[in-house]
Amino acid sequence: MAERRVNVGWAEGLHARPASIFVRATTASGVPVTIAKAGGDPVNAASMLAVLGLGAQGGEEIVLASDAEGAEAALDRLAKLVAEGLDELPETV
């Protein structure tokens, strides 16, 4: 299982617009990914409701994980997106 631990870079956390950006990036990766708060239960990272339900705040650690083929590269891109709190979906994701 590939895993990335990263702190949420969006000041407002994974809410509304940042969650939408993250979910679109996860879906575009084509790799099934889970997201969880550190020590919490993982949820589907491609589900807007699941991501919003985490209530992840800015600066809080989250865990991205996948055991699918291509997981390492996908998790690297998603971790960068979250850590840097990017305002839009990069073309490389």
Which residues does the annotation mark as catalytic? 15
User: Taking a C-beta distance cutoff of 8 angstroms, is the pair 44, 36 a contact?
Assistant: no
Name which of 63, 83, 77, 80 is nearest 30 in CA terms. Answer: 77
> Tell me, what amino acid is at 90?
P
Which two three-digit tokens encode residue 40? 């919490």
